[in-house]
Amino acid sequence: MSRRRTADDEGATSQPTGGRRSGRERASGTGRSGPFETAPRAERALLVGLSGNGRGEARRGAGIAGPVSPPAGEGLGELAQLAEAAGSEVVGRLFQRPAGRRPGTFLSKGKLEELGQLADAQEADLIIFDENLSPVQTRNLQESLQRKVLDRTELILDIFATRARTREAQLQVELAQLQYLLPRLTRMWVHLSRLGGGIGTRGPGETQLEVDRRRVRQRISALKRRLVAVERERAVQQRRRREMFRVSLIGYTNAGKSTLFNALTHATVPTEDKLFATLDTTTRRLVLESGEVLLLSDTVGFIRKLPHHLVASFRATLREVREADLLAHVVDASHPCLREQMAAVGEVLDELLDGHAVRQIVVLNKADLLSETERLALATEIPCAVMLAATDPGDVARFRDHLAQASRGEGWSARRGGRCPRAADAVAPLPGGGRA
């Protein structure tokens, strides 16, 4: 295909980030993997996102707030982390101007050609979009590029599927995957024989597509029934705990919730530096110096554009959030997009709580990575927040004392209200009418 540069391409750039291996290297296993490596190579992924709207990300060094929306570079940086968490190797990035999008393929004609050339040059196996694609867009892109195409939702669902450990989490992830899959079934879909079948299950005149859709719907109904039973069991457990003060740690994924949870309770929840290291809610007793006992829960992390199906499926697991007496919103204070992350958490909380009033406090974690100027700026913006480093025993001890005071209603700095406030609303307005 010849390459013509169109007006849609102005301001959008492609960025290859990985080298190319020769056919001999791939066949012999030499090169990156070493001469005796026999494991299959990671899928090589190209990332596609929308280019920025002209507003750069401002650092907080002087207490200046960044934009409401994260820039495209940051958005694809997070997408790259998700791709690597799923086991892929990111070999390039491509940006599309929002104004140049076409309904059928998401990309402009010129960008689609450029993406095909970049995929050939980088020997990419799959293309990952940072936006959600319609079934028609996915099909058109796969036919044009002759490569597997995933959107952000499908990527997150795949990560959850590989990280789910308990039977409950596996049921929740499977439900979300099937709900996402149902409108995307086509006649080319491989027969879903593992979901059931046999004599008498196929109606007269049904096509294979109709059979597959019926089986998926049946499986969705079965999973929902099983999750209702799980929610009843959790409700029974929580009735036994109503006498105790309950605190839930919530926040963006990889903000340090599990590290803080382990430091407070001496638990051994996995604390890897990657997205969605924790999927299951873990609850432990927190014994205070006074002998009083609190219940502390570590919950699954949230993320931008968290798939709606996933939020709905994890309602049973996240019931701890709704039943808590206090929500401790843990924020990575060193992250350049902390305000956007806080807003994303607030949106998911609004959906989960549905107007239910829960007290909330903001915990600015990883404060040891901030300069003194940045600390002062954040303290001014969020005066009611607790600033700490989960790896500092002194900070953890002070936060434990803060929780003790909160449980007794002393020195209360958390917010009350008819509904749980958005996390971003805890940030004080900045000079000039902006919001952190």
Who's near 91: CB < 8 A, 6+ residues apart? 16, 17, 18, 44, 45, 46, 122, 123, 124
User: Which tokens hold the place of 397?
Assistant: 């001890």
Nearest CA-CA partner of 90 in 136, 57, 49: 49
pLDDT of 143 above 60 = yes
- Are 147 and 127 spatial neighbours (Cβ–Cβ below 8 Å)? yes
| Same-domain pairing of 35 and 183 | no
Residue 309's pLDDT is what?
Answer: 75
- Are 351 and 313 spatial neighbours (Cβ–Cβ below 8 Å)? no
- The residues pairing with 329 across neighbouring beta strands, listed in sequence order, are 250, 362
- Taking each helix axis from N to C end, the angle separating 152-163 and 167-181, rounded to the nearest 10 degrees, works out to 160
| Same-domain pairing of 305 and 347 | yes
- Tell me, what amino acid is at 209? L
Give the percent of the chain with pLDDT over 70: 73
User: Which tokens hold the place of 2?
Assistant: 């010849």
- Are 279 and 311 spatial neighbours (Cβ–Cβ below 8 Å)? no
Q: How far apart are CA 363 and CA 385, in angstroms?
A: 6
In a domain? residue 220: yes
Q: What is the total count of domains within the chain?
A: 3
pLDDT of 237 above 60 = yes
* Residue 333 DSSP label: T
* Residue 435 DSSP label: B
Q: How far apart are CA 136 and CA 155, in angstroms?
A: 18
Q: Which of 125, 150, 175 is the last residue of a domain?
A: 150
User: Which tokens hold the place of 139?
Assistant: 């099909």
- Are 345 and 329 spatial neighbours (Cβ–Cβ below 8 Å)? yes
In a domain? residue 377: yes
pLDDT in tens, 54-74: 333 333 322 223 333 444 445
| Same-domain pairing of 407 and 337 | yes
pLDDT in tens, 254-281: 899 999 999 999 998 878 777 777 677 8
Residue 430's pLDDT is what?
Answer: 27
Location of structure tokens 């919530």: 250
Q: How far apart are CA 138 and CA 427, in angstroms?
A: 39
Which CATH number does the domain housing residue 54 bear?
3.40.50.11060
Find the helix or strand (DSSP H, E) in which 362 lies. strand 359-365
> How does strand 386-387 pair with strand 359-365?
parallel
Task: Grade residue 33 by pLDDT with cuts at 50, 70 and 90.
Answer: very low
In a domain? residue 157: no
In a domain? residue 219: yes
* Residue 291 DSSP label: S
State how far Cα 421 lies from the chain centre. Answer: 21
In a domain? residue 433: no
Location of structure tokens 């090169």: 31
φ, ψ for residue 47 (rounded to 5)? -105, 140
| Same-domain pairing of 202 and 267 | no
pLDDT in tens, 318-328: 777 888 999 99
| Same-domain pairing of 145 and 169 | no
CA distances, 378 to each of 61, 159, 426, 428 (Å): 10, 33, 12, 10
Range from 150-159, 199-208, 216-225, 270-279 carrying the lowest mean pLDDT:
199-208
- Are 341 and 261 spatial neighbours (Cβ–Cβ below 8 Å)? no
Q: How far apart are CA 45 and CA 119, in angstroms?
A: 9
In a domain? residue 235: no
Cα dihedral sign, 68-249-268-276: negative
pLDDT of 4 above 60 = no
| Same-domain pairing of 23 and 134 | yes
Q: Angle CA(278)–CA(281)–CA(283) in degrees, nearest 5? A: 120
| Same-domain pairing of 283 and 181 | no
- Are 147 and 45 spatial neighbours (Cβ–Cβ below 8 Å)? no
| Same-domain pairing of 314 and 219 | no
Q: What is the mean pLDDT of residues 379-390?
A: 93
pTM: 0.74
φ, ψ for residue 147 (rounded to 5)? -145, 160
| Same-domain pairing of 331 and 398 | yes
In a domain? residue 1: no
User: Which tokens hold the place of 94?
Assistant: 């491509």
- The residues pairing with 295 across neighbouring beta strands, listed in sequence order, are 246, 285
Residue 328's pLDDT is what?
Answer: 95
pLDDT in tens, 277-332: 767 788 899 998 888 899 999 988 888 888 777 787 777 667 778 889 999 999 99
| Same-domain pairing of 116 and 176 | no
pLDDT in tens, 161-204: 888 877 888 888 899 999 998 888 764 444 444 444 444 444 55
Which CATH number does the domain housing residue 385 bear?
3.40.50.300
Q: Which of 197, 224, 251 is the last residue of a domain?
A: 224
pLDDT of 93 above 80 = yes
What domain range is 39 assigned to?
7-150
| Same-domain pairing of 268 and 412 | yes
| Same-domain pairing of 30 and 113 | yes
Nearest CA-CA partner of 70 in 50, 86, 88: 50
In a domain? residue 30: yes
